[in-house]
Amino acid sequence: MTIKPILKMGNPLLLQRSQEVIDPVAPEISQLITDLFDTMYATKGIGLSAPQIGINLRVMIFGFEKSERYPNAKPVPTTILINPTIEILTQTMQAGWEGCISVPGLRGVVSRPTKIHYQGIDEKGQPIDRIATDFHARMVQHEYDHLEGILFPQRITDMRLFGFENEVWDKIITNNIPVYDL
Ligand code: NI
Residues 88-107 have a mean pLDDT of 96
Q: How far apart are CA 181 and CA 40, in angstroms?
A: 12
- Please tell me the distance between residue 27's alpha carbon and the centre of ligand 1 in angstroms: 25
At 1, is the pLDDT very low, low, confident or very high (cuts 50, 70, 90)? confident
Report pLDDT for 152: 98
User: Which domains are present in the chain?
Assistant: 12-181 (3.90.45.10)
Q: How far apart are CA 135 and CA 73, in angstroms?
A: 8
The yes-or-no answer on residue 68 being catalytic is no
- Please tell me the distance between residue 158's alpha carbon and the centre of ligand 1 in angstroms: 19
Q: How far apart are CA 66 and CA 71, in angstroms?
A: 7
pLDDT 10s digits, 103-153: 999 999 999 999 999 999 999 999 999 999 999 999 999 999 999 999 999
Burial class (CB in 10 A: 0-12, 13-18, 19+), 4: middle
Angle, vertex CA 63, rays to CA 59 and CA 118, nearest 5:
55
Residues 154-173 have a mean pLDDT of 90
pTM: 0.95
- Please tell me the distance between residue 131's alpha carbon and the centre of ligand 1 in angstroms: 21
**Residue 9: CB atoms within 10 Å:** 15
- Please tell me the distance between residue 92's alpha carbon and the centre of ligand 1 in angstroms: 22
- Percentage of residues of the chain with pLDDT beyond 70: 98
Which of 143, 148, 165, 167 is labelled catalytic?
Answer: 143
Q: Which residues, by Cβ under 5 Å, contact ligand 1, an ion?
A: 100, 182
